[in-house]
């Protein structure tokens, strides 16, 4: 797991992050901005088709913070310079103000792409909408009435990638207050015990939902993970496409996707590795207690300082009994 920890430490300069994902102070779920900086002109105009519209019967006419995104794009914010790849779709999210499409392709930063819209029968709706890849693996599109599926192309008349369904993120109130996004699993070390310890620790801290990302995992490790899915406490996102890459190269894609996935679904989301534990040291209460005491809506993220503890042995391969969990070596 060392590779995961190092990758995350480089990203946040030695800090762990918690993101608040539902307030106006968060730009498209990834960059924070004080609410006092958002002018009336920045806010999105939404056109409702009728007073009894369903969640998909909404059309928008502009993307929020588009000018700011173009400025950051020119400054190459989030550009990774990793190997180029063709478009490969991962997930799509429908928010009140826009649609966000997550792709697994990397280093298409700033490139022009076209959003395609499809109804519940996968029939195209209208003309494609021109957009750009920003951040590194995200494309924002206008909402269009009647849309159930979306896809992308590099040119307006190209054949779209096979459409993927929109995940509803238009709810007025998030279902969860505190959730956890876990860095992608890869490598051969057993993880079943770490998963159980991780989930139960953060449940004690007030977390009620977990987003797991898998690049590689054994069938044995999947048993306990699938059981958390069965009980409604977690979901599993499979990280794969037609382009081969080292396991640690999924990390930034997971961060982008889980910001989008948890936005409007959870008020706060922690981004941590499977071997990392957040705890309060100068506050008498859980992480959830602390988060609920934050009254300043302009706060979009919290950083936790890291303390490194040396790991000196591997995890047990399989469960044996309540007193012995390590496989005895002959």
* Tens-digit pLDDT profile for residues 87-135: 889 999 999 999 999 998 877 888 899 999 999 999 999 999 999 998 8
Reply yes or no on whether the pLDDT at 79 is more than 90: no
pLDDT (average), residues 170-184: 94
Reply yes or no on whether the pLDDT at 154 is more than 70: yes
Q: What percent of the chain has pLDDT over 90?
A: 50
Structural domains in the chain, sorted by start:
2-22+174-305 (no CATH), 40-169 (2.60.40)
Residue 163's pLDDT band (cuts 50, 70, 90): very high
Q: What is the 3-state secondary structure (H, E, C) of the chain?
A: CHHHHHHHHHHHCCEEEEEECCCCCEECCCEECCHHHCCHHHCCCEEECCCCCCCCCEEECCCCCHHHHHHHHHCCCCCCCCCCCCCCEEEEEEECCCEEEEECCCCCCCCEEEEEEECCCCCECCCCEEEEECCCCEEEECCCCCCCEEEEECCCCCCCCCCEEEEEECCCCCCEEEEEEECCECCCCCCHHHHHHHHHHHHHCCCCEEEEEECCCCHHHHHHHHHHHHCCCEEEEECCCCCCCCHHHHHHHHHHHHHHHHCCCEEEEEEECCCCCCCCCCCCCCHHHHHHCCCCCCCCEEEEECCCCCCCCCCCCCCCCCCCCCCCCC
Has this prediction a pTM greater than 0.95?
A: no
Residue 33: predicted pLDDT: 29
Reply yes or no on whether the pLDDT at 166 is more than 60: yes
Higher pLDDT, 76 or 220: 220
């Amino acid at each position: 797991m060392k590779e995961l920890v190092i990758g995350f430490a480089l990203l946040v300069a030695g800090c762990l992050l918690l993101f608040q994902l539902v307030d106006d102070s968060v730009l498209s779920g990834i960059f924070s901005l004080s609410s006092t900086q958002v002018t009336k002109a920045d806010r999105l105009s939404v056109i409702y088709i009728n007073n009894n519209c369903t969640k998909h019967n909404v059309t928008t006419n502009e993307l929020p913070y588009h000018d700011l995104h173009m400025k950051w794009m020119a400054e190459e914010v989030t550009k990774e310079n990793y190997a180029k790849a063709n478009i490969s779709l991962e997930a799509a999210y429908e928010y009140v103000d826009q649609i966000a499409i997550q792709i697994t392709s990397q280093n298409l930063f700033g490139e022009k792409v076209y959003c395609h819209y499809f109804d519940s029968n996968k029939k195209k709706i209208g003309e494609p909408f021109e957009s750009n890849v920003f951040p590194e693996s995200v494309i924002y599109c206008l909402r269009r009435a009647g849309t159930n599926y979306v896809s992308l192309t590099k040119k307006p008349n190209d054949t779209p990638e096979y459409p993927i369904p929109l995940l509803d993120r238009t709810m007025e109130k998030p279902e969860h207050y505190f959730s956890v996004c876990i860095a992608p699993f890869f490598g051969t070390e057993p993880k079943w015990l770490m998963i159980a310890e991780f989930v139960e620790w953060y449940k004690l801290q007030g977390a009620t939902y977990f987003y797991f990302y898998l690049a590689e995992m054994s069938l044995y490790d999947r048993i306990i993970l699938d059981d958390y899915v069965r009980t409604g406490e977690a979901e599993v996102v499979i990280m794969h496409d037609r382009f081969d890459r080292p396991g640690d190269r999924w990390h930034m894609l997971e961060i982008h996707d889980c910001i989008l996935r948890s936005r409007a679904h959870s008020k706060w989301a922690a981004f941590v590795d499977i071997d990392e534990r957040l705890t309060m040291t100068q506050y008498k209460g859980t992480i959830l207690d602390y988060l609920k005491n934050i009254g300043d809506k302009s706060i979009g993220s919290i950083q936790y300082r890291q303390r490194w503890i040396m790991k000196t042995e591997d995890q047990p391969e399989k469960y044996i009994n309540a007193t012995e969990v390590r496989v005895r070596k002959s």
